[in-house]
Structure 1
Amino acid sequence: MRVLHLGFEDPRMPGAGGGSVRTHEINRRLAAEGFHITVLTTRYPGWKERVQDGVHYVPIGIGTGKNRMTRLLAYVIRLPFEVQKRRGTTDLVVEDFFAPFSTMAAPLWTRRPTIGVVQWLNAKDKARQYKLPLYWIERWGVRKHHRLITVSHGIAERLSAQNPTAHVDVIGNGVDPEAWNPQPHLGHDVLFIGRLEYSDKGLDLLLQAWARSSQHLTANLLIAGTGPDEAKIRTTIHTLGLTDRVHMLGWLSGPKKFQALSDARLVIVPSRNETFGLVAIDALATGTPVIAFNIPCLREIIPTGAGWLVEPFDTNALAEEITRRYLQPGLEEDSVLRRQFAARYNWDALARMQARSYQDSLAALGNSTARLQVNNQGDRG
């Protein structure tokens, strides 16, 4: 099968999120099974067209992609033209949903069988942030899709509410095999890993909670990642008087990332919105417990005994839970349970599920696309 993946974010781009990781981990396994996959992404400083693990990456846009907004606009403008150029060598188009409006309603203009992969569905929050009707764009675009893949049951329910006629497959994210290399042990510090987005990732809430809980602990809060709000986060750390108790680690990946997860006593995922929560699964794979807000998607991947869920966005509750669990004796004793749960999220098995979904979608959508093309030709005649 020849797949054209509208992937938006390149996994090599500094600060790239979990969505691009999923795209590559699935695609490289499909490529090994004979799929021909091209991924169209935004440009970014240092971008380069390449074949990586059998997957052809083509950054599109204008210039070097230095600015976040110009990257987005250039991608949106160029994407239909780039798809048109490759239409004759494409069997199936896969549209990754991306911020801030989720979908470009690709089935309307690709003229090929097209499915959506939904790892992001938070246009309502972006609409409030930017004072633009982004949520209505999302709703309209979702309704143009007939086949969708999403990473959690929580997102599947939201998609079905917006488009009851769509077929939705739930195929989660997987754990990087490197997560199993560190040996579980009782760590010392508290860790956040993720994109540095002040509101969406809940870093404002985490820092408020840490200002309280750090008074009772000897640990430091470690923040690993890069992102658009790094300066704002540093300012908040200074304002709250946490300069000596919070350390910024920068971007971590590969063995360094998993060693940091293993070395932590607790991993905190304070997000206001998540479509899956890959960091939480990675932490459990290293044997480290997780604290998160009790929101859809996260509650699916943090079972009792592997971590704890607190009242959404309650900084007092989060501070109390961090303090309580940090001081709890025997934290390391449940590391086997955490790793056993994380082992369910296997990239090889998930890639096989996605391959079946692609094949089913091509069979279902190919016939309807062919009928549409015949009807269009008849109308022209």
Structure 2
Amino acid sequence: MLHLGFEDHRRPGSGGGSARNRAVNARLARHHDITMVTARYPGAEDRVEDGVRHLHLGIGRGYMVSLLSYFACLPWFLLRHSRHHDLVVEEFAAPLGSVSAPRWTRRPTLAVVQWLDAAGKSRQYHLPFLAFESLGLRSHRRAVAVSHDLADQIGSRAPALRVDVVPNGVEPEAFEVREPDSGDVVYLGRLEIAQKGLDLLCEAWAGVAHRVGGRLVIAGDGPDRARLERLCERLGIADSVVMLGRVEGEEKLRLLAGARVVAMPSRYETFGMVAVEALACGSPVVAYAIPCLREVVPEGSGVLVTDLLDAGAYAEALAAAWHDPGLKARAAGSGRDFARRFEWDAIAREQEAVYLDAARAGAASRPDPAERR
């Protein structure tokens, strides 16, 4: 399998999409030969990790240069190398979305869609990313989406595309971790204000920090860390906010398990992996009631704020959740039970079944430009 995975999980600021790819591919590599191709970044190293071969394309000099050069190299790479694989998996990713992989190879292809917001990136950068994303959707015959909401979006734009929903998952160790209640409100994720709503979280915290007994702990890295630190200073909350940086593995699970509340103030998500991880660790989630988070924050295990993107409403929800003595206990019970359906071993088996079916379906209709030479 040739997986055009876009983002190396070792890249600073990498998000849930790369974490998903790592978890699934490490399990599939026990039985399959997998090559993961991602954007080059400063310090990137080609390697074999967890049985997966990692290669890098493009120019590793700055975020946007890295991403756009990766996309620019993909057609050439497919022309030269895809013929040696049984399946090509194209990951839709920011900002371009897709290079329409089926147009560059005769091999069976599959789109994995964890992200579908080229419209937002088009507005942000005033470039036609949405057009590339739309062309990419229409070029594929088969896709995997990580949520039903995302599958509905794909279906509305590419009705002929067959879409299987295979959600994100959580490591089995999450269900075993136990930590004392720290009293803290914890945010875990990429430090990107536009999508993750960290400006809304800081505004909300400024309104309720004096009403709760814990701190706001922000764990993660990303392009907006300096901007976020300046915002905390401007709002006068820097003394009650702890910036941990990136945390992984057991440290991440302990942080989530000890949280009084896990905050997910996202404006937009395609799944909401941190919500499932928090519930698996026994901690409740406070999030805006955006479609995909409604799928993974069940009633009684968290709070969904219906006043979307209202920092004041989010502040009140945080304070109420923090002071609710039974909420964390319910999350540790019914929340953990709910999260068990998302264990990575089962998710990997679901995705493997889709991959095998797509590979058996045969070559795409377009002749391979490389093989015609």
TM tier, smaller:
over 0.9
Gap runs ≥5 in structure 1: none
Higher normalized contact order (CA 8 Å, seq sep 6+, divided by chain length): 2
Q: Which one of 282, 289, 314 corresponds to residue 284 of structure 2?
A: 289
**Equivalents in 1 of 2:251, 2:196: separation in Å?**
21
Letter paired with 2:256: L
**Equivalents in 2 of 1:333, 1:218: separation in Å?**
18
Q: For residues 30-70 of structure 1, what are the alpha-carbon distances to aligned partners after superposition, in whole Å with 9 as ceiling and x for unaligned?
A: 111x21110101112221111111111111223xx141112
Contact 1:185 1:287 in 2 (8 A): no
Change (3 A) 1:179 1:237: same
**Equivalents in 1 of 2:214, 2:62: separation in Å?**
37
Letter paired with 1:355: E
Alignment of 1:352 onto 2:346: no
Partner-residue secondary structure (3-state), 1:96: strand
Letter paired with 1:56: R
Match for residue 86 of structure 2? 91
Shifted more, 180-189 versus 98-107: the winner is 180-189
Q: Which one of 320, 339, 348 corresponds to residue 342 of structure 1?
A: 339
**Equivalents in 2 of 1:228, 1:297: separation in Å?**
24
Partner-residue secondary structure (3-state), 2:167: coil
Pairwise CA distance, 1:374? 9.9
Letter paired with 1:349: A
Q: For residues 300-339 of structure 1, what are the alpha-carbon distances to aligned partners after superposition, in whole Å with 9 as ceiling and x for unaligned?
A: 0000011110021111110001111101122332112111
Contact 2:105 2:369 in 1 (8 A): no
Q: Counterparts in 2 of 1:1-381, with a 5 A limit?
A: 3-32=1-30, 34-62=31-59, 65-183=60-178, 185-311=180-306, 312-334=308-330, 335-364=332-361, 366-369=362-365, 372-373=366-367
Change (3 A) 1:368 1:89: closer
**Equivalents in 1 of 2:276, 2:320: separation in Å?**
22
Scaled by the length of structure 2, the TM-score of the pair is 0.95
Pairwise CA distance, 1:184? 5.3
Q: For residues 272-297 of structure 1, what are the alpha-carbon distances to aligned partners after superposition, in whole Å with 9 as ceiling and x for unaligned?
A: 11011111111101100000000011
Letter paired with 2:322: Y
Shifted more, 130-139 versus 269-278: the winner is 130-139
Contact 1:93 1:115 in 2 (8 A): yes
Partner-residue secondary structure (3-state), 1:373: coil
**Equivalents in 2 of 1:220, 1:186: separation in Å?**
12
Gap runs ≥5 in structure 2: none
Pairwise CA distance, 1:216? 1.2
Q: For residues 210-235 of structure 1, what are the alpha-carbon distances to aligned partners after superposition, in whole Å with 9 as ceiling and x for unaligned?
A: 11111211211111111111111111
Scaled by the length of structure 1, the TM-score of the pair is 0.93
Contact 2:107 2:363 in 1 (8 A): no
Pairwise CA distance, 1:373? 3.4
Contact 1:184 1:287 in 2 (8 A): no
Contact 2:106 2:363 in 1 (8 A): no
Q: For residues 339-381 of structure 1, what are the alpha-carbon distances to aligned partners after superposition, in whole Å with 9 as ceiling and x for unaligned?
A: 11111102111111111111221233x1544xx439999xx9x
Change (3 A) 1:25 1:240: same
Identity in percent: 46
Change (3 A) 1:374 1:321: closer
Partner-residue secondary structure (3-state), 1:41: strand
Contact 2:203 2:311 in 1 (8 A): yes
Contact 1:185 1:332 in 2 (8 A): no
Change (3 A) 1:374 1:268: closer
**Equivalents in 2 of 1:256, 1:296: separation in Å?**
30
Q: For residues 233-292 of structure 1, what are the alpha-carbon distances to aligned partners after superposition, in whole Å with 9 as ceiling and x for unaligned?
A: 111101101111111111111111111111110001011110111111111011000000
Contact 1:187 1:262 in 2 (8 A): no
